[in-house]
Structures are given as C-alpha cells and as structure tokens.
A and B are shown apart, each in its own frame.
Chain A
Amino acid sequence: MLLQLKNIFKWVNSGGQRIFLLKDINLEVEEGEFISVMGPSGSGKSTLLNVIGMLDTFDEGEYNFLDESVHTLKEKHRSNLYKEYIGFVFQSYHLLDDLTVQENLEMPLLYKKFKGSERKAMVADMLDRFNIVGKKDLFPAQLSGGQQQLVGVARALIANPKLILADEPTGNLNSQQSEEIMQLFKKLNKEEGVTIIQVTHSEKNAAYGSRIINLLDGRKV
C-alpha cells in the first residue's frame, strides 16, 4: 500500500463556528492506481490533495505514507518525504517564468544533489520522452497552454516520484490539449506504473482513472 488516510478531519474556526473542510475521510491507495477526485467547487477536493501532498496539515486522524505515519512526523521530515516521493502538477502550470523549459525541468534535480552531468542526461531524456526537445530553450510565455502543462508534467516526473498529484491539470486547457494530457497520464500509469491522483471537474477526464472518489462538503460520498 502506498498511502492510507484514516478518519481525517480538517476544519477552520470562523465566528465561533467550526467549519469542516474535510470530514472523516478514509482512503487507501495502492501503488499503480489512477484515482480521480470529483465534486463541486468548495467540496474539499484541493484540500484533500494538499493534505495527501503534505503541503497542508490536518486536525485529526492518521495518515500513513509508505509505512511512515505522517501525522507524527515533524515538519522537516514531512517535507523531506514529499520531496522524495511526490510530484505535483498544477492547473495553472506554475512554471517559473524566468526559466527556460530546460531549466524548469532541471530545477527539482538541483535540490536533490545530482551532478551536473547526471542532471543534463535526465533533462535530455525527459525532453526526448515528451517530444519537446525543440522547445528546450523557450520560456514558458512562448509556449501554448498545452505545451506548458506538458512541461509541468515532465517536471513532476523528472525526479522519479512514486505519486503524482494533479490539481485540475486540464482546467486551463482546450479539449484537444486536455485529451493529450490525459492520454499521457494514462500511459504513465499503465506503462510505468506511476500512481496518479487527479482532481477534476470533467466526467470525461475522470473516466481515465481506475477509481473515482466523490466529495461533497468535505465528505466522501
């Protein structure tokens, strides 16, 4: 098992009232799964994804990731854990505008103490795999949305994570671009066994996954 959430609660206090963002979430994810999280706006999809990605904390419950109990870990260990195993893909790509495609891909490697030559090889490999060798020296602003997201996915993958968390990865893309990204996810999942959890509004995209989780007001339905 890759990760397990047990009775996860997350809330904020507002005007003397406790508003639940996540309410009693239980979830088990095996390696190699492709899960789609669905639900209306404000249902807690992104919050759940952030909790899984250890970017956000929760108030109650247990979270085990690869046999580590995340809820007992110190902040520093927690961030080490996600840096090691999790790759993120964002709706608005979040590429660094000042870096070229190549440099954006290289960035995660910089922080993992890879040698310069290794980094070069890994970036070249990734550019090759995603068919964007010709774009390596362009800046994000010079790419289309679909191409940017392609880079975003490549960046998430470059350090070989076990899990990819994608928050509405096609939210800003047109249908053709969406299709391409989803095909890519499917391929990664099938051929390379990467575990993927995506948040999506689209039934069509959700259908690419092996399992769908529906959320409403912070609860699993």
Chain B
Amino acid sequence: MLKNHLKIAWRNIKKDKLFTIIKIGGFSIGIAACLLIALFINNELSYDDHYQKKDRIFRVVMQGTMDGEVLKSVHFQRLFAETLESNYPEIEKAGKINTSELFGAGKRALRIQGSSQNMLDDGFVFADQRAVEILELDFLEGNRDEVFKNPSSIILTEEKAQRYFPNGDALGKTLFLDDNTDKPYTITGIVKNNPAIKSHFDFDFLLVIEDKNTSWTTTNYFTYVLVDENTNIPALEEKMGAILEDYFIPAQMERGMGEDFMEVLKTLEYKLQPIGDIHLKSDIKMGDGLKHGDIRFVWLFAAIAGFVLLLAVINFINLSTAKSANRAKEVGLRKTVGAFKGNLISQFLTESIIYSFISFFIGVLLAWLLLPNFNSIADKSIVMPWASWWFLPIIVVSTLVIGLFAGLYPAFYLSAFKPVNVLKGNLSIGSKSGSLRSGLVVFQFTTSVVLIIGTLIIYKQMNFILDKKLGYDKEQVLVVQGANLLNNRAQAFKERLLGLSEVKEVSISDYLPVEGTKRNGNSFRKSASGTEERSVPAQIWRVDYDYINTLGLQMKSGRGFSKEFANDSSAIVINTSMAKKLGLDNPLGRQINNGQDWTIIGVLEDFHFKNLKEDIEPLTLVLGNAPSMVSVKLANGVSDGAIEKIKGIWNDFVPNQTFEFTFLDQEYAQMHDDVKRMGKIFNSFTMFAILVACLGLFALSAFLVEQRKKEISIRLVLGAPFKSIYQLLTLDFMKLILLSILIAVPVGWYMMNRWLEDFAYKINIGWDIFLMAGFIALLVALLTISYQSISAALLKPLKNLRAE
C-alpha cells in the first residue's frame, strides 16, 4: 500500500511541473529561512552556556533610582571583588575584568622581544586570577590556577599565539606593548580556541590587572562571583548591601557629596545577574560597552521565521486544495472500487510528507548555500551543525510534522468527496473553498506588507542616522591609529602633516565622537556654591588646541582653546547640555570643579558623540595629552595621494610600525551597524516572504484561469474586449491585496513604533511609508497575476469550447 502511495505521489509530482515547482520551491524557501533563523537563535541562546558551574556564576549589577529614573551599573571598585570574597562565605570566588579603552584595553601595538616590528592588534582585556578561574578559561598551555599569579603576565588565544609564534613556542616569551620596553610582558598561558564556545566577553589578549587603587569611589571593573551551591541569591543580594553601608557611602561622604546625592545612595542595591543572562538580557543602561544580543530581537526573528514557514505551508494547502478538481475523479473512483476514507487520507498525507521531504532536502541545501551571506549580514560565524547529534533527528521530525501539518487539511478535504458527485460530472468542487483560499492569500500578503513596512522604516531610520546633522563634520577626517608610538614626537608629526597641502587641520586626541575611542566618567559642581549642590556627571575629554576646528564643532558662545591665552591650561569648554544641567544661563567665566577648578571659556553647540539611541550627555573639553589617535582633516577630499603622503611621513617617524588609519565617517556608520544589519536581515526575509507569497499567488491565478477557461472563452466569443477579461481576472485578487494592506498598516505601525522607541533620535513614521509599502505590494501582486490574466485574455476561444 505504501509503495502504491509513493508511486502515485511521485507521478503526481512529476505530472504538473509548474505546480510542483511552486509547491516545493515555496516550501524550500520557507524551510531555508526558518532554518537560518533557527540557527541564529540557537547561536544567540548558546552564549555563556559552556561553564560547568554555570548556575553559580553571576555578574554583579548595582542599581538605584535618581529623579525617578533607574540607574544601573556594572562597574565596581578594585577592592569590591576582594571584599565580597572575604566578607561573604557563600561567595567562593570573586574576580574582575576591565574592558575599558581608558585603561589600555582594546587596541594596542604589540612587539615580540627580538623583533623590531610593532603590530597593531585588537582585543586586549584586563582580568585577574580569580576571573580566569571563575570564567573557566580552558588552557592549551599554562596552568589556570596560577597564570596570573605574577604581574606583567599576558594570556593569548590559540589563534593569536599561532599567528605571532608560528613555531608554537609562545609560552614564556616576552612581549612589549606600545613599544614600552620598560614593562615586558611574559606569556603565561594560551587559551584553547573553541568556536563552539561563545561568551559575552571576547578577548584575544588577556592582561593581568595590576591596579593598586584602593579608592571606593572609582569604579572600573566588572565583577563576577562564583557562589556556593544552594546559595539563596536574593538573601545574598540583600546581605551585600552592607558593602554600600560600610565602604561605598562613607567614601562618597568623605568626598563631600551633598544631601541630594545621599537620597540616591539610599536607593542603591546590588543584584546578581546570572551569567547566562548577560548576552541577551542586559540593559543598555548598564553601560558595559559589550556587544550584546537582544532577547526581543530573538523573539522577533523567531516570529518572522514562524511566519515565513507558515506562508509556505499555506501555499501548500492552498495549491493542494485548488487543484482538488483534478484529484476529485481519482477520489471518487478509488471510493467506488473500495477505498475507505482512511486509505485516501493516508495516501494524501504520504504525498504531502514526500513534498515536505523533498522540500526539506532542498531547503537545508539552500540554507547551507546562503549561510555565508547570512553570516555576513548578521555578523555571526554560524556553521551548519551537520555533525551535531540533534541536527538530523530534528530535521527528520520537522519534516514529518510539517508534512503532516501541511497535508492534513487537503487530505481531509479531498478525501471527503462523494463519488456520486464526481462521477456525475459535478467537478466544480475546486471553487468551493474559495473563501478559505482568499483568507490565506490575505494572510500571506498581510505578512509581506508588514515586513515591507518594517524594512522601509529601518532603512529610513538608517538614512536618518547617516544624514543626521551631528554637530560635527565627520567627512574627510582620517584618523591615524596607534599614534602613541610617536611618544614625544607627536607634535613634530603634527607639524609635518600640516605642511602638506592636502591637510587642512590636525588634532591629537583619543576622544572622538565615535564608539571605541576613549570615554570617562566625572562629576562636576559649580565651585562657588557649597557642597549641598548636586554634582553633574559629565565626560571630560582631553584635547589639543586644534580639536574644535578639526572636527568642525560649532561654538555657541565664548571661544575655543588658544595658545594666545596663557592660562588656558585651566580653561574648560562645555557643551550646551552641560550648561543646562549646571543650571547656568551665562556660563562664560564661571568656575566648575571636579576636584580641580576649571574656568568656562566657551560653550559648544551640542554634538552627537554617542550612538543615536542615546541622548546627548554633558561633555567638557580641556587641554591635555591623549596621544594614541591623530585626526587629520583633509583639504580636497579623500585621495590615495593624500593617504600615501601621510603614510610616508608616518614611516619617517615610526618605521617599525605599520600605518593604520580609519575614517571618521566610516567609524560613525559602523557604530550603527546593528541598525544596518537589522535592515539587511529584514530586507532578506521580506524578499523571502514576498517570493513565497507571489509563488502562491501565481499558481492560484493560474488555477483560477484554468477553471474559468470555458467562461472566458464564451465571453470572448461573445465579443468581450481584452480589457474586460483582464479586469475580470485581476480585480478579485486586487481586492484581497488591498484588504491585506489595510490590515498590515496598523500592525506594521505598532511594531515599528516599538522598535523606534529604542532611539533617542528617530524618524517620524509618515503616511508615505505605508503608501510606498502598499504600492510595492500591489505592484508585485499585479505583475504576478497579470501573466496569467493576459495569457487568458489572449486565449483562442474555439479550442477550449471544442474540448467541452
């Protein structure tokens, strides 16, 4: 019996090639999309999943409220970890890491002892011995229990070790960072590469923390704890509050914080964030600067995957029932010669499972082919888990489940035909389920239109971000990296550059309005008023005299730094937000204090120095030395010639270090890569969805034309013009598409409004987007249907009538 079912199914698959291709094509695309997203989700969910003691590892978070706003921080004092470990017996270990560029994490120039070549590399992070233990780093060489026992220790990943020491003799070798021969680092460990392991914090080089700071007011370290088994976490969090009482608050008092600040201090509490939650469930307010996923996107993508698959299944159902007239005779006959309903149901289910099986085969193949593209869009390095024990079973089970799911309705529908109706020649059965099919078409197009709206809005926001007047000029600014190797010759380098006709301005500062450059936290008070004044948290950036001109910052009032004023070393330039926060209407000449007095000489127009998701915060500029980046404003646009000349000068100064540079506008765009990625992902899946929906629509219109051939022929014989036939066949579908657009608009509006809420600076969703989305959907649908409608209107009527 099964053999017979298989045979019939196979012949049916072969018979109507167009329908088969569309059924299987749509199905395969849906499966490929679904599989890719499933792999993506699996990847996102698998972060920090590898620790043996996963359930006992936490990151400490401090939270409180100020003016009704929740504050969160994951930065703690150096002494915090030690204090936790010694004061709380249930905390087995507490360790810390530091990923801040301010302290030398991120990009460093590295030189192997005995070589003269400096190489710029990224991925430097600081950690202590305890962190290495808690985070269960897996060592290829070196002993985990004592890698960081000594100062000046450095750990490399296997990949970096192989790159810099191809002979495999990295352990014990000496490295210099930033060409500083006074502080040689010894390689004490090499960590295994394991692509299957994903962690919220990534590193290529791990440096031991050598900070001796005992202050309870400077907070620079992420702190991780390993607690004993069966520890009551809420109780421990509660108990940890004592640290605030005993150390943190007294230290703040000593610093002279006002009463207002005490109010904030009272709301503070410690929370323990399970390590598995860090990647997907961290709040942007925590400001840990790590690359996070977002659990909401995971759900969103899961929903999209589900929808795309559902669209494919719907297509299958739609096409199967649409073609039912062709199968009706078979059903009727089989019943008259003795088939039971059950026989027929199992026959049709077998058929749909075969479709599902073929589609899965093609779909998995398609996903595999698309995976590299998908990886580049999603910024992932997912591999097809062919070898994973669960992969094959999941695919097989999904094949069966989806095959059954897609086949169930057609099976029951088809097997219910009464033989007498069929044999009498009442073969109009195919049109009976017209309303169901219409419903399914509406569903498909609604989904497509929602996705189109999403894509359009994301792209519009992306353009908004890229075109936004940022308050500084990011164009034609080349940033020379690793300039700290110039040491005391930075100024001379700058002079040489200024000698080039291609160079307009040059500024030396590590603080640039893009991510990945230096940041800090400070608090200022008006120095004239007493300690009751609340302090204003603000960045303090060390810049040189030409910074403001190089970046094209606009002065609102006052002036920038100038060599003509001898006492500019205690001068400060603030932005407008800072002036507002300080409550100064006329800030020029006023003094502010962050432990040192500064005189305000100018107020800048606000400019965006953070991601547009965030508001512009208070910012101050002072003269100072931050020499690892040199920004060069080019005069006549970016040209290879200009870059070559700058490179030539660099090589004169630092011959043993390759010339590395970036462009400010590119860095800015990179900062918003997540939006761009989101846009691309949305775009891809919109394409998938539209393609599947159109395949379905195409087949459905083909079917309807087929069904109405006789009617069309009669109309043509009676003199109906081309136009009326075309309209006859097109209008019904167009009504469905219009209905879909009507449903999709509010859904898309709601969804994308939620997405835009993340941005402090965003576009308004206007009618133009909905019009555009509707227009696209209508156009695509019209083109799809027209092929069939036009060919029907050009029918040779006699041929069809004679056949009757």
A-side residues, CB < 8 A to B, are: 46, 50, 53, 55-56, 79, 82-83, 87-88, 90, 94, 96, 98-99, 103, 106-108, 110-112, 155, 159
Contact = CB atoms under 8 A, between A and B. Distances in A.
Nearest to B10: A98
B4 interface: yes
Contacts of B12: 98
A82 B420 CA distance: 13
B420 A110 contact: no
Contact of A96 (B333, B340, B343, B418): B333
A76 B490 CA distance: 96
A108 B333 CA distance: 10
Contacts of B336: 53, 55, 82, 88
A196 B84 CA distance: 98
A107 B337 contact: yes
Contacts of B339: 110-111
Contacts of A83: 337-338
Contacts of B4: 103, 106, 110
Contacts of A88: 336-337
B423 to A, nearest CB: 7
A56 B420 contact: yes
A103 B424 CA distance: 24
A111 B333 CA distance: 12
Contacts of B332: 94
B348 to A, nearest CB: 14
B738 interface: no
A112 B1 CA distance: 11
B423 A98 contact: no
Interface in B306-343: 329-330, 332-340, 343
Contacts of B1: 110
A98 B338 contact: no
Interface of B is mostly: helix
A20 to B, nearest CB: 18
B8 interface: yes
B419 interface: yes
A94 B332 CA distance: 10
Contacts of B335: 79
A136 B332 CA distance: 23
13 contacts: A50-B424, A55-B336, A56-B420, A79-B335, A88-B337, A98-B12, A98-B330, A99-B8, A103-B4, A108-B338, A110-B339, A111-B337, A159-B338
A94 B338 contact: no
Interface string B421-444: 001100000000000000000000
Given A96-B330, A98-B8, A99-B8, A108 B337 contact: yes
Given A46-B424, A98-B15, 5 more contacts: A87-B337, A98-B8, A110-B4, A110-B339, A111-B338
B723 interface: no
B16 to A, nearest CB: 11
Nearest to B5: A110
Given A90-B423, A110-B4, A111-B339, A98 B334 contact: no
Interface string B1-21: 100100110011001000000
Nearest to A167: B423
Contacts of A159: 337-338
Nearest to B425: A92
Contacts of B329: 94, 96
Contacts of A55: 336, 418-420, 423
Ordered nearest first, which 8 A-B pairs have the shortest CB separation? A108-B337, A83-B338, A111-B338, A55-B420, A98-B11, A111-B339, A56-B420, A108-B338
B98 to A, nearest CB: 72
A83 B7 CA distance: 24
A79 B419 CA distance: 11
B340 A111 contact: yes
B420 A111 contact: no
A88 B335 CA distance: 11
Interface of B: 1, 4, 7-8, 11-12, 15, 329-330, 332-340, 343, 418-420, 423-424
A88 B332 CA distance: 12
Contacts of B8: 98-99
Contacts of B423: 55, 90, 94
A111 B11 contact: no
Contacts of A82: 336
B139 to A, nearest CB: 64
A111 to B, nearest CB: 4
Most B CB within 10 A of own CB, among A55, A79, A99: A55
B606 to A, nearest CB: 74
Contacts of A98: 8, 11-12, 15, 330
A196 B221 CA distance: 97
A99 B424 CA distance: 22
Contact of B420 (A50, A87, A107, A112): A50
B338 A112 contact: yes
Nearest to A165: B336
A79 B420 CA distance: 12
Contacts of B330: 96, 98
Contacts of A107: 334, 337
Contacts of A106: 4
A38 B804 CA distance: 26
A107 B333 CA distance: 10
Nearest to A112: B338
Contacts of A53: 336
Contacts of A99: 8, 11
A83 to B, nearest CB: 4
A155 B333 CA distance: 11
Nearest to A57: B420
B343 A94 contact: no
B420 A94 contact: no
A106 B7 CA distance: 13
B225 to A, nearest CB: 69
A172 to B, nearest CB: 14
Contacts of A94: 329, 332-333, 423
Contacts of A108: 337-338
Contacts of A56: 420
* B4, B332, B423 interface centre (most CB from chain A within 10 Å): B423
Contacts of A112: 338
Nearest to B4: A110
Contacts of B340: 79, 111
A1 B330 CA distance: 33
A163 to B, nearest CB: 13
B168 to A, nearest CB: 65
Nearest to B418: A55
A46 B7 CA distance: 34
Contacts of B15: 98
Nearest to B337: A108
A82 B336 CA distance: 8
Contact of A111 (B343, B418, B419): B343
A204 B410 CA distance: 46
Nearest to A111: B338
Contacts of A96: 329-330, 333
A155 B11 contact: no
A55 to B, nearest CB: 4
A186 to B, nearest CB: 24
A112 B420 CA distance: 21
Contacts of B338: 83, 108, 111-112, 159
A168 to B, nearest CB: 12
A67 B649 CA distance: 112
B325 to A, nearest CB: 14
B488 to A, nearest CB: 88
B19 to A, nearest CB: 14
A118 to B, nearest CB: 14
A98 B397 CA distance: 30
Contacts of B418: 55
